[in-house]
Amino acid sequence: MAKLQAVIYDLDGVITDTAEYHYLAWKTLAEELHIPFDRSFNEQLKGLSRVDSLEKILAEGTEQYSPTERQRLAEKKNDHYKSLIQEIGPKDLLPGVYQFMLEVKEAGIKTGLASASKNARTVIEKLEITHLLDTVVDAATVERGKPDPEVFLKAAQQLHVEPSQCVGIEDAKSGVTAIKSAGMYAVGVGDEQNLSEADWVISDTSHLSLDRLKEKL
């Protein structure tokens, strides 16, 4: 890469672990619907939009639901999720993330958030990191969810930066695919096998460092 111009972050699983709250909220809904649901199934939902996640869960059951009922179920999950995230604060930032975000910002590199979550703005405000992000893509305006590159391309566009000069950071397989399809350098956070498509995989966020990243580019 000629010059690193922007770092684009995924939210859930990279900046904070809201994945746990999504899991708990989906689990409550699945139990009400008598659909089996566990952590391993939940892995498949990471990075997927709310409606896509619901579709996957309902496909595990036998009942058919009308579009209106599906909408009501998605709202129910979201109400539960919103009540669970009330208590989020700076203490919930993943290890090393605040330091890294600050380092990037202070180096004059642009920053963006490419989350599939419609609750992303609430979460970043609660985490008190809004000032460390130059742009946030509104998930409501994104037509195609991850693994489609749209959300990452939109972030680059809003930052007026070429995708080839961007680094994307993701914890989900679908998210890494989205970054690569956008033509960006992908940092994967998590399991090396699961995220094999990424250019650089780190086991957790404590390994994020701007110097290391620049060496890798």
Nearer to ligand B16, 62 or 86 (CB): 86
* Helix segments in the chain, DSSP class H: 19-32, 39-43, 50-58, 67-84, 97-106, 120-127, 150-158, 173-181, 210-216
For residue 48, the partner it binds in ligand B16, Mg ion, none, with Cβ less than 5 to 8 A by kind, is ligand B16
> Strand, helix or coil at 74?
helix
Question: Which residue in the set 12, 81, 101, 150 belongs to the binding site for Mg ion (CB under 5 A)?
Answer: 12
Question: Which residue in the set 171, 179, 184, 200 belongs to the binding site for Mg ion (CB under 5 A)?
Answer: 171
Whether cis (ω within 30° of 0) applies to the bond prior to 163 is: no
Tell me the closest approach of the beta carbon of residue 172 to Mg ion, in angstroms: 5
Question: Can you tell me which residue has the tokens 């990424």?
Answer: 198
Which window, 6-14, 49-57, 69-77, 102-110, contacts Mg ion (CB under 5 A)? 6-14
Tell me the closest approach of the beta carbon of residue 2 to ligand B16, in angstroms: 28
Nearer to Mg ion, 10 or 150 (CB): 10
> Strand, helix or coil at 15?
coil
> Strand, helix or coil at 37?
coil
Given 10, 38, 148, 199, the catalytic residue: 10
Q: Which residues have CB under 8 Å from 215's CB, separation 6+?
A: none
User: Rounded distance, CA 24 to CA 22, Å?
Assistant: 6
CB 66 within 8 A of CB 94: no
Beta bridge partners of 189: 202
Which residues are near ligand B16 by CB under 6 A?
Answer: 10-13, 22, 45-50, 53, 78, 115-119, 139, 172
Specify whether 12 is catalytic: yes
Question: Which residue in the set 13, 112, 149, 188 belongs to the binding site for Mg ion (CB under 5 A)?
Answer: 13
Tell me the closest approach of the beta carbon of residue 176 to ligand B16, in angstroms: 11
Q: Measured at CB, which residue is nearest to Mg ion?
A: 13
Positions in the binding site for Mg ion (CB under 5 A): 10, 12-13, 47, 171-172
Active site residues: 10, 12
